[in-house]
């Protein structure tokens, strides 16, 4: 009896312990890192040891993929819970699955939170407008210099103001020259000799005619007009002064002649420019010069006439490059009715150029430019993204040509690709390219640094902040003012310039500092 009673007591004790253990395991099943109640029932149903092995919790990671982990549950600045990572899982929470070296993987829930949007690469003709700054210049072929070919004196000025408008044939000035008077007299004497030797022998008449022709040619070589020569022959008297007239209708752009001054042969006394047609010389950047075609139309806008649009044609591309600005001058010929366009005015020039035909294109926002290579993320489905290096071609305002790396119809990520980059650090993808300067797939996430400072400026459009911060011990930085990029625009909530802030940041790439946490600085208590 005593033996049976001991056995019964033992059985009862085992039952109590089993019941207590079941209750304790059931309550622990509600935690984030222990086996569920369903797993306990499986263990109970499989006493032979076929139960699933309990997973080991490693850490909690940032829900936005930022390089920040925690040994305990916490929330990020946006109020999102950190995600548990167990042994045997990759960073995106996918257990037991391997990801190719050139791919990154993110959970479907994370893709939705990041707001990832994809767009198919398409064949399209990239019509582009090249914009350039320019200036109005006179047409060099319509500029004339009035330079006497003999020595003399300015006797009288008919036009004595620079900038005065003149018509073709209008008198500019009169000159006196002893040489000119002598040449006129020689011509008149020779002409009279021809008349007097009309009845003489042939040799004498021929010699006098040669002398007259020589004197006449000398006057013509001095730019004496036919009208003035006829007047000289009709009057039979040498004129003391000679009048110089404008060869073209235009504006006097230069005047060196002064009343009574002496001038030497070839000295330019006046310059007259026809401004009915002008040049616009535009400075086109080096990378766009290959798109410029002679004869193409160009649109010109002038600040002085914002409501007017002038149109001209590209007539010449200069063969030289300005090394300081990396631009090439391009000449546009432009009609100038009403002489509205003045030399030296600034102009904004639009040069429409046509693409070479349909090419594979993606939105500009799809390209991640690291400085040494350009990457796009190809959506593979189920949260998988393949990082692929591409070669870029011509750009338009919204799209860029893909010369190699992406095919027509492939889905490329056009929004939130920066956040995907932050989520994964593209570590596997860059490793797939075999680049020595990229971290291997197992490399640690960048270290996070903390600082305090004053918010000097906010550029919401580019997602950058200017912060005057104090010393950063982890980087051995002194106090300074510098720019940071935001990991998420939501960090700007309730932030205004001048506010004192506490923030955390990481180095995403060489010299690129990303703020992962930003909040108002807490006042110090004593």
437 domain residue, yes or no: no
**Are 288 and 219 members of one domain?**
no
User: Taking 60 as the threshold, does the pLDDT of residue 90 lie above it?
Assistant: no
Residue 442 is predicted with a pLDDT of 39
Residue 280 is predicted with a pLDDT of 95
138 domain residue, yes or no: no
476 domain residue, yes or no: yes
**Are 401 and 456 members of one domain?**
no
- 42: confidence class by pLDDT, cuts 50, 70, 90: very low
Tell me the CATH number at 500: 2.40.50.320
Tell me the CATH number at 302: 2.40.30.170
Strands (E), 158-273: 165-166, 171-176, 241-245, 250-255, 262-263, 270-273
Higher-pLDDT residue of 480 and 440 is 480
72 domain residue, yes or no: no
Domain boundary among 349, 376, 409: 349
**Are 167 and 253 members of one domain?**
yes
Question: Coil, strand or helix: which one is 385?
Answer: strand
Nearest C-alpha neighbor of 120 from the set 355, 360, 359: 360
**Are 156 and 254 members of one domain?**
yes
137-188, pLDDT tens digit by residue? Answer: 999 999 999 999 999 999 999 999 999 999 999 999 999 999 888 888 888 8
pTM assigned to the model: 0.48
- 60: confidence class by pLDDT, cuts 50, 70, 90: confident
Tell me the CATH number at 364: 2.40.420.20
144: left (phi over 0), alpha (psi -120 to 50) or beta: beta
344 domain residue, yes or no: yes
Nearest C-alpha neighbor of 372 from the set 515, 513, 514, 510: 510
**Are 471 and 488 members of one domain?**
yes
Domain boundary among 210, 238, 266: 266
**Are 282 and 303 members of one domain?**
yes
CA–CA distance, 467 with 486 (Å, rounded to integer): 12
- Mean pLDDT across the stretch 297-307? 91
Say if CB 414 and CB 81 are below 8 A apart: no
CA–CA distance, 400 with 126 (Å, rounded to integer): 8
**Are 190 and 246 members of one domain?**
yes
223 domain residue, yes or no: yes
Bridge pairing between strands 250-255 and 368-369 = unpaired
**Are 153 and 261 members of one domain?**
yes
55 domain residue, yes or no: no
Span between the terminal Cα atoms of the chain, in Å: 76
**Are 416 and 315 members of one domain?**
no
387 domain residue, yes or no: yes
Burial code (b: 16+ CB inside 10 Å, e: under 16) for 321-357 equals eeeeeebbbbbbebebeeeebeeebebebebebebee
**Are 366 and 455 members of one domain?**
no
Q: How many domains does the chain have?
A: 5
Domain that holds residue 166: 148-266
Residue 53 is predicted with a pLDDT of 59
**Are 156 and 232 members of one domain?**
yes
Say if CB 175 and CB 265 are below 8 A apart: no
Higher-pLDDT residue of 398 and 284 is 284
**Are 180 and 235 members of one domain?**
yes
């Amino acid at each position: 009896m005593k033996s049976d009673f001991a056995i019964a007591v033992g059985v009862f004790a085992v039952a109590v312990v089993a019941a207590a253990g079941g209750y304790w395991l059931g309550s622990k099943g509600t935690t984030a890192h222990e086996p569920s109640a369903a797993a306990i029932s499986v263990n109970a149903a499989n006493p032979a040891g076929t139960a699933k092995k309990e997973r080991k919790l490693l850490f909690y990671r940032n829900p936005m993929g930022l390089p920040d982990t925690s040994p305990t549950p916490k929330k990020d600045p946006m109020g999102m819970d950190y995600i548990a990572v167990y042994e045997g899982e990759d960073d995106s929470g996918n257990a037991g699955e391997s990801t190719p070296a050139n791919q990154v993987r993110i959970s479907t829930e994370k893709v939705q939170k990041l707001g990832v949007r994809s767009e198919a690469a398409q064949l399209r003709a990239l019509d582009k407008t090249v914009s350039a700054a320019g200036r109005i210049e006179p047409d060099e072929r319509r500029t004339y210099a009035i330079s006497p070919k003999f020595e003399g004196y300015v006797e009288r000025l008919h036009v004595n103001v620079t900038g005065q408008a003149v018509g073709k044939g209008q008198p500019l000035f009169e000159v006196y020259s002893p040489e000119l008077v002598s040449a006129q007299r020689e011509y008149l004497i020779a002409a009279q000799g021809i008349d007097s030797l009309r009845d003489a022998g042939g040799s004498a008449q021929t010699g006098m005619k040669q002398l007259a022709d020589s004197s006449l040619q000398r006057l013509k070589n001095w730019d004496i007009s036919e009208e003035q020569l006829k007047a000289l022959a009709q009057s039979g008297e040498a004129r003391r002064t000679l009048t110089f007239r404008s060869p073209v209708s235009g504006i006097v752009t230069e005047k060196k002649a002064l009343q009574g001054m002496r001038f030497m042969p070839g000295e330019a006394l006046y310059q007259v420019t026809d401004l009915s047609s002008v040049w616009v010389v535009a400075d086109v950047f080096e990378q766009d010069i290959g798109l410029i075609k002679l004869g193409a139309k160009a649109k010109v806008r002038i600040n002085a006439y914002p409501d007017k649009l002038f149109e001209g044609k590209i007539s010449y591309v200069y063969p030289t490059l300005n090394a300081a600005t990396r631009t090439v001058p391009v000449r546009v010929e432009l009609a100038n009715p009403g002489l509205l366009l003045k030399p030296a005015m600034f102009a904004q020039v639009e040069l429409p150029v046509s693409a070479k035909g349909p090419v594979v294109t993606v939105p500009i926002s799809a390209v991640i430019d690291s400085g040494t290579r350009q990457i796009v993320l190809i959506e593979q489905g189920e949260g998988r993204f393949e990082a692929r290096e591409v070669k870029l071609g011509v750009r338009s305002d919204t799209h860029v040509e893909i010369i190699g790396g992406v095919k027509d119809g492939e889905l490329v990520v056009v929004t939130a690709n920066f956040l995907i980059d932050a989520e994964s650090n593209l570590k596997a993808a860059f490793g797939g390219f075999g680049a020595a300067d990229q971290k291997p797939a197992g490399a640690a996430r960048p270290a996070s640094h903390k600082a305090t400072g004053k918010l000097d400026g906010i550029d919401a459009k580019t997602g950058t902040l200017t912060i005057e911060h104090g010393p950063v011990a982890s980087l051995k930085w002194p106090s300074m003012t510098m720019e940071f990029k935001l990991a998420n625009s939501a960090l700007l909530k309730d932030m205004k310039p001048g506010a004192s802030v506490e923030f955390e940041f990481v180095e995403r790439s060489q010299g690129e500092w990303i703020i992962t946490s930003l909040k108002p600085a807490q006042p110090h208590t004593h």
